[in-house]
Structure 1
């Protein structure tokens, strides 16, 4: 549920070449995610970008479905999967509201650096719930930008220059977690990786 496909298609090659901003925080996040996954799990990552995290976690599960609405991100992700010879991953061009995802059969759904970019947070979380089995896990990490309110007037200029996506939301961790609960989830773990402002809120939530 985003309207930024052209932006992400345009920057996909540059995005794929960028190093991880904070390697320690990234490794902490991947470690926490992996601790909640089982070898028998069927897992989806929505908004997977070039599938870096999906590929890192695929060996931990039975099947990984990595999805992104950007055709160029998906193309690069598929090339990486082939180069790394990861066989239990499928990388699919699909938005969060794609009916192919709403099976109610997945053990876990992951969304990283995505929820602050969606058009409608509540509707997105309802779609996530439709993907999961009862008791399935929604695992996310989201920049909570409320403290960076001063960026609001700058973003329209950056969008005109092609340097920022549209629809960036400025909410707090409390607002994010309240929305997750409204969608019928019970929050079982939270954290901030890295532990600094603005928080990158890590949330593990279980579907009721």
Structure 2
């Protein structure tokens, strides 16, 4: 991507002084959305429209992300960091566990100990999320014998569901001992046998992808599912184009809006069977909003957290 001198000068004035503490997080939300102007308009990797025509700085506390540019789609309201591969190449292999997910330091035995939930509010939240996700899946029915957890972390979900076949995609090396302890095989999505899975769980994982890889990843997930197999996607509310969301966003590289998430899943050839929010919304309407949700659509009107779409692979002999 090439920026003209004029555009770089305009972008340099965006945002506020880099925030260094959690108390400064609201200030990190004070970004402006400027028209692309002399930059070319990008194709949105979520909805596919050539309408990613506004830019902002990344609303971050961390200086590694604060200087990056986010493109925003005027059609679906989603955002994405372009060309983020180098930015996150080493981050998840090392820094993520040390800086964000410090619970990886616990022993595998500690995760199996009920006292852990009582002693650690953070782990209690993770386990409560898993309980809610499993309850939602049980309501949909079906067999969950062969399961892949995409972005599994230390295996909260696989441990709780306890399917016969446990597969995990997880780049965080600190999670490996925990996955080994529950008998989960760490793999890659392209190594999974086609049409072999009953369920793929992608909980707070897709927002960490390079935007350029999103659609290929979703299509590979469809190919790995059995006919009528389920993909369960949960992502954080990311429609900063309409809302002030005063929680940490880095290291996310995709900011999902409700229609952006739905359209990406549908474009991959999957059929949405459920859509809901696992938690109430914490956002406030943004005074300088550049996108407005459709208030006639309950999924867009609510704009809650734990934004969830459950989709089914249509019946058929082969996945494209």
* Band of TM-score, shorter chain: 0.7 to 0.9
Residue 275 of structure 2 corresponds to residue 190 of structure 1: yes
CA contact (8 A) 1:141 1:203 kept: yes
CA contact (8 A) 1:44 1:64 kept: yes
Residue 99 of structure 2 corresponds to residue 6 of structure 1: no
Which consecutive residues of structure 2, in runs of 5 or more, have no partner in the other structure? 1-84, 107-121, 283-303, 315-320
Residue 114 of structure 2 corresponds to residue 21 of structure 1: no
Aligned-residue RMSD, C-alpha: 3.0
54 and 44 in structure 1: CA distance in 2 versus 1, 3 angstrom threshold: same
Instruction: Report the Cα distance in structure 1 between the residues aligned to 2:100 and 2:305, rounded to whole angstroms.
Output: 25
168 and 21 in structure 1: CA distance in 2 versus 1, 3 angstrom threshold: farther
CA contact (8 A) 1:12 1:73 kept: no
In our comparison, the structure showing a higher alpha carbon Rg is: 2
Equivalent in the alignment of 1:168 = 253
What is the number of residues matched between the two proteins? 185
Equivalent in the alignment of 1:91 = 185
Equivalent in the alignment of 1:84 = none
Instruction: Report the Cα distance in structure 2 between the residues aligned to 1:195 and 1:71, rounded to whole angstroms.
Output: 33
Instruction: Report the Cα distance in structure 1 between the residues aligned to 2:237 and 2:101, rounded to whole angstroms.
Output: 26
Secondary structure (helix, strand or coil) at the match of 2:256 reads coil
Following superposition, the deviation at residue 22 of structure 1 comes to 7.2
Residue 248 of structure 2 corresponds to residue 146 of structure 1: no
Secondary structure (helix, strand or coil) at the match of 1:19 reads helix
CA contact (8 A) 1:67 1:74 kept: no
Following superposition, the deviation at residue 15 of structure 1 comes to 3.2
**TM-score normalised over the length of structure 1:** 0.74
23 and 6 in structure 1: CA distance in 2 versus 1, 3 angstrom threshold: closer
Instruction: Report the Cα distance in structure 1 between the residues aligned to 2:200 and 2:265, rounded to whole angstroms.
Output: 13
Secondary structure (helix, strand or coil) at the match of 2:123 reads coil
**TM-score normalised over the length of structure 2:** 0.50
Structure 1 segments of 4 or more deviating over 6 A?
A: 148-151
Greater relative CO, 1 or 2 (CA 8 Å, sep 6+) = 1
Give the counterpart of 2:306 among 188, 197, 200. 200
Following superposition, the deviation at residue 24 of structure 1 comes to 5.3
Instruction: Report the Cα distance in structure 2 between the residues aligned to 1:39 and 1:134, rounded to whole angstroms.
Output: 12
Equivalent in the alignment of 1:114 = 205
13 and 193 in structure 1: CA distance in 2 versus 1, 3 angstrom threshold: closer
Instruction: Report the Cα distance in structure 2 between the residues aligned to 1:147 and 1:9, rounded to whole angstroms.
Output: 26
CA contact (8 A) 1:64 1:90 kept: yes
